[in-house]
Structure 1
Amino acid sequence: MGTKKRTWNKWIAGASAASLLLAAGCSNKPAGSEAGNGNEPYELTFLTTGDQGAKPLQPNDRIIAEINKRLNIKLTVKIVPEFSYDKINVAIASGDLPDVVTTQYPSESVSQWIKEGIIVPLNDYLKDTPTLKGKLEGDLKWTAIDGKFYGYPFISGVERSNYTVQFRQDWLDKLGLKPPQTLEELHSTLKAVVEKDPDGNGKADTYGFITNKPNAGDALTAFDFVFYAYGLPYGDYAKDDKGNVIPKFEHPAFKKGLADLRKWYDEKLIDPEFIVYDRPTKEQKFFQSKAGFMDGPLFRHVSRIEGSLQQVIPTGKLGYTAPPTGPEGKQGMATKSKNALFTAVTKKAKNPQKAAQFIEFLLSKEGRDLLQLGIEGVHYTKQGDKISYNESEREKDGFAPNGWAHPIAWGNVTWPIDESYLPQTEPRIERALDSVKVASKYIMPNLINKKTDAEIEFGKAVNEVYNQYFVNLLNGKLDVDKGITELGQKWRQAGGDKILKAVTEEYKKNGGK
C-alpha cells in the first residue's frame, strides 16, 4: 500500500460511486494560494469518513462557501463512506496528503502516521482554538503522547447508547405477544415469528433474529446480550476464579449463552447468512419481512427505520426493548467504546494554524449551528425558540430531509446522539429520545478503559480468529468444549497472549488485583 503513488484524481476515478462521494469545492489552485499568503484564501483539503444517513455533497455548496468566507479558506472536502477507514489509509499511503484527515483511533495507521511525522502536534496552534484546547486539555488529556496532542479524538458511546433490540411491533400485536423481557420469552417469541406466519404470505420464509457482520477488524458482538444475561460482567475481558485476566469467551457465561444460541440456530430462528450481511442489507431484510427481530442503533434512526419499513409495509410498526434478562435477572447490551474518530492535521498543511482553526470550527457552537441548521434566512428562519426549515433551499446544499444536517455535520468530530441533536421536525422525537434512555441503562463496563498497544497491533488478528470460531460454534460445526479450548489456543497464538500480558499490566497499574 505504501508504494502506491496515485494522485487524488486517479484514486477517485478508480473508486466506485458507491464507495466514494465526490469532493465539493474542487478547483485549480492559483499560484501562491496554498499557504494563504496575505488575504488570499488558503486552499484546504479535508478527507473524512461520512455518515450513512447523509446526502452527497452538492456542487456550489453554500455551506462550504460560508465556511470559506468565515475562515478565509478554499475548502475541498473528500468523503468516504462511514467506517471505510481502509480508503483513508490508501489515500494517505499514496503520499498526496490532505491538510486535515479523520480516521479511526486508536489504530496502527494513526500510530504509524505519528512515528513517520505524517500528522503534526497541535499544541502550538491551541491558543487560537479555545474549544479544541478545552477538550484536549480537559477530559482528553490522557490522549497526549509525551505531552503532544496529535489530533482530536472523539469518543462516542461512553455514557449514552442507542443500541437496542428492535422488532416488528405489528407482528407481535398480530400474534398477541408482548415484547420479550427474558431469554425464555425471547426464544418463544422468535419461534412464534418463524412458525406462525405473521406476514401472512403462507410461506416459511421468515427468521426470528437477524444481525450483520462486524466492521472490518472488529469482533462479532451482536449476540453478546445473551452472554451478559448469563452474567458476563465486562464488555472486553473477564477474570477467572484466581483473578487473572482472560478472554471473555472463557468466562462460564459464554458457554451457557452459546447453548441457547445453538438451540436458536438449530431451530432456524437465526438467519444463518448473517455473517455476510452489512447493516443496510440486514435492515432491508427487516423491511422486507424476512426477520422479526434485529439489533442496531436507534435515536435518530427511529424515523428512518420505521419510515423505510412503512414504505414496504404501510401497516408496519417498529418496536424496541431492553435486552432480555437471564436466569438471575442480569442483562446488558452495548459496551463502552474504546474507539474514537480522530481528526488531525497532516504535514502537507502549509498553514497548520488554519487547519487547526478548521477543526475548531467543526467543534464550535458556531460551526455546529451552521452544519446543523444552515444559513439563517436561507436554510431556516427562527422566531423565539421555534425553527422553520426551508427544505427546498436545504436540499440544494445536501442537507438531509426533515430538518436534518449537512453532509459534513457528522462522522468526523461528533454524532447526533452525543450532541443530543434532533431537529424540531423530528416526527418521532419522543420515541427517539426514549430509545436512548432505554439503551443507556444497559451499557456494559470494560475491565480496561484504555486500548493497549498490543490490542492495536494484534486486535484484528485475534478478532478474526474469534469470529471464525464463533460462527462454527454457533452452527454446530464444532463441539462446544473442544471448540472453546481450541479457540483459546488459536486466539493466544494470533497475539492474544501478548494482549493478555499488556491488559493485565494496565489493569494492575490502575488498581486491579
Structure 2
Amino acid sequence: MKKNNKNRFVSILCLILIVAMIVGCSNNSGGKSPQSSSGTDGEGGKPVKIVYLTPGDSAAKPIQPDDRIIAEINKRLGIELEIKFVPEGGFEKVNVAMATGDFPDLVTAQYPSSSLSQWMEEGLLVPLNDYLPQMPTVKEKLEGQFSWTAVDGNYYGYPFIEEKSNVSMTYRADWLKTLNIAPPTTLDEFYEALKAITNGDPDQNGQKDTYGLTGTKENGFNTSFNFVFYAYGLPYGDWILDNDGKVAPVFEHPAFKSGVEYIQKLWKEKLIDPEFLLNDTQQREQKFFQSKAGFMVANLFRHVNRLEKSLKELTPAGELGFINPPAGPEGKHGMVGKPKGGLFTAITTKAKDPEKAAQFLEFMLSPEGRELLELGIEGVHYTKDGDKVNYNEEERAKDNFASNGWSHPLAWGNVVWPLTRNYLPNTEAQADRAKESVEIATSNLVPNLVNVTTPEEIEMGGVFGKGILSELANQYYFDMISGKVDIDKGLAELSKKWREQGGDKVLAAVNAAYEAQQK
C-alpha cells in the first residue's frame, strides 16, 4: 500500500512538471514575455518598479511619498514609479551613480557629454528604435528635428534641446522716456542711447553713476555682447566657412573684428559697466534694478513680471522694456546661437521592463502626460470654466505643486521646459508680454553651421562655452576690448595659439562632421 502511494505521488509530480514546462514554453514564444506588455514583474502580478534618476527643476519642491500624481501615473501605466532627483545641473552625481553600476531604469544626463558618449559605447543604454511605434510623440521629434542625434542609426534616448529662445535685449523704458530717446534699432542708435544713459543722469539723482550696458562673466561673450557680432554679419552661432569652404573659428570672420572694435569703443568711453566680468546673473539684474545700468541681455518669458516687479520695488516709476537687438550697417541682427545641447533621457540596460520604461518616457511628453503634470487631476487639483483653469491651490499644495498655477515637481527639467511648450498658468500677470518676448527672442536665434558637437569639442572646447580653447579665446577677447592687446595683433596671435593648443584637432573633427552633414 505504501509503495503504491509512493508511485502515485511520483506520477503526479512528473505530471505537474510536464505541465509547467509546456506553460513555460508557451509563455516564451514570440521573444517577449507577457509581463512586458502587462506591466507586471512576475512576482504575484505586482506592477513593474521603474526608478528614474533626473536633475529635475531647482525651483520645484520635493515629491512626497503619498503623491497623488505619481499614484495616477502608476495607475495609468501599470508601474511603480520611484523618482530620484539630483540638484538641477548636478550631472556629476548622475555620472557617479552610473559609474557604480547601480544605475536606474531611466536616467536624464547632460547632452552632449563625454560620459553620455561612453555609456553608448559601452552598451549601457537601450536603443529606442524598436519601441518608437508605441511612442508617437517621441517618434515624431526624433525622426523630425532631432534626426541628427542618431548614432549609427540608433536613437539612444530623447534629446531635449530648446527650440525657442527667451534671451532678449532688455532696457529701462522709463529712462529712455526721461531722456526723450526712442528705443534703438541700429548699432549707431544703440551707441547714442548708451552714451545718453551714461552721461545724461537718467535717474535724476544729480550724480554720474549710471552705465549704458551691463553683462556677466558667464559664458564669456556668448550671451553678453554677441549681438554686436551678428549685427556686423557673423552668419552662424558656432563656426564659419573660410574662403576654401572649410570650417574655421568665428574669430577669423571680418564681422568679429568689427564687433570687437565696436565693443572696445563702448569700453573706452566707459559706457559698459566696468565690473561686468565680476557679475553673475543675479548681480547683473541687481544693477539693473538699482539703477546702475540701462541695458542688459536677459532671459525673459516667465521672468518678465518678476523683473519688472523687482524693478518697481526699488523704483516705483521703473518700466521694463525689451526690443530686437540693434542692426548693423547691412541691416543684419541676431542675439544668440541656436543651442546644440541640453538634456538626454535614456533607458538603461538595467531596466526591468524597457517597454514600460519607454511607455513612461512617451507619457511625459504626450499631451495626456503634460496635462497631468502641468495641471494635475481634474476635479481635484483644478477645474475648468471653458478655457479658464481654476487652480485648487490647497489640494495642489498637498502634492507639492509650485504655487500660483505652476506645475508638479516632475513637470520640468527632464524632457521639457515651460518655454518649449509656451506654458504659462492662467495666473501669469503679464502673459501677453511674456509670450511677445519669446516671439522676439526666437526670431533672433542665429543658426548653426554644424548640427552636432564633436567629442573633440567636448574635450577641448571651441570658441564659445567651456574648455581650454574657449578659455583662450575668451582671454584674448577681453584683452582686446579692454585695450590690453592690439586688435589686429590679438586676432593673429589667437588664430595661431588656438590651433596649436588643439584647435587643429577640433577643426579636423568638425570639418568631418560638416562634410557628413552635407551628404
SS in 2 for 1:300: helix
From 502, 508, 513, the equivalent of 1:495 is 502
1:79-478 → structure 2 map (5 Å cutoff): 79-157=85-163, 160-214=164-218, 220-459=222-461, 460-478=467-485
Following superposition, the deviation at residue 75 of structure 1 comes to: 3.1
Structure 1 residues 330 and 175: alpha-carbon distance in aligned structure 2, compared to 1, 3 A threshold: same
Quick check: 1:164–1:333 contact (8 Å CA) kept in 2? yes
- Work out the CA distance in 2 between the residues paired with 1:40 and 1:222: 54
Quick check: 1:228–1:253 contact (8 Å CA) kept in 2? yes
- Work out the CA distance in 1 between the residues paired with 2:317 and 2:396: 30
Following superposition, the deviation at residue 509 of structure 1 comes to: 4.0
Following superposition, the deviation at residue 248 of structure 1 comes to: 0.6
- Work out the CA distance in 2 between the residues paired with 1:198 and 1:89: 50
Structure 1 residues 234 and 146: alpha-carbon distance in aligned structure 2, compared to 1, 3 A threshold: closer
1:45 equivalent to 2:47? Answer: no
Gap runs ≥5 in structure 2? 1-38, 462-466
Quick check: 1:213–1:220 contact (8 Å CA) kept in 2? no
- Work out the CA distance in 1 between the residues paired with 2:405 and 2:100: 38
After superposition, the CA RMSD in angstroms is: 2.7
- After the TM superposition, which of the residue ranges 356-365 and 56-65 deviates more from structure 2? 56-65
SS in 1 for 2:337: coil
Gap runs ≥5 in structure 1? 1-32
- Tell me what 1:484 maps to: 491
- Work out the CA distance in 2 between the residues paired with 1:80 and 1:274: 31
SS in 1 for 2:181: coil
Structure 1 residues 177 and 198: alpha-carbon distance in aligned structure 2, compared to 1, 3 A threshold: same
Following superposition, the deviation at residue 298 of structure 1 comes to: 1.8
TM-score, normalised relative to structure 2: 0.84
From 56, 77, 85, the equivalent of 2:61 is 56
1:23-56 Cα deviation digits (max 9, x unpaired):
xxxxxxxxxx99574443444332223345x332
1:353-400 Cα deviation digits (max 9, x unpaired):
332222111111111001111111122101222211223333343333
Larger Rg: 2
Quick check: 1:462–1:496 contact (8 Å CA) kept in 2? yes
Quick check: 2:213–2:272 contact (8 Å CA) kept in 1? yes
**Bigger proportion of residues as helix:** 2
1:320-343 Cα deviation digits (max 9, x unpaired):
000101122221112222223210
1:78 equivalent to 2:88? Answer: no
- Work out the CA distance in 2 between the residues paired with 1:202 and 1:97: 62
AA in 2 matched with 1:312: L
- After the TM superposition, which of the residue ranges 500-509 and 315-324 deviates more from structure 2? 500-509
- Tell me what 1:19 maps to: none
- Work out the CA distance in 2 between the residues paired with 1:304 and 1:87: 31
- Work out the CA distance in 2 between the residues paired with 1:353 and 1:120: 10
TM-score, normalised relative to structure 1: 0.84
SS in 2 for 1:439: helix
- Work out the CA distance in 1 between the residues paired with 2:172 and 2:41: 55
Quick check: 1:245–1:500 contact (8 Å CA) kept in 2? yes
- Tell me what 1:3 maps to: none
Following superposition, the deviation at residue 105 of structure 1 comes to: 1.5
Following superposition, the deviation at residue 511 of structure 1 comes to: 4.3
AA in 1 matched with 2:62: L
Quick check: 2:61–2:402 contact (8 Å CA) kept in 1? no
Following superposition, the deviation at residue 477 of structure 1 comes to: 2.2
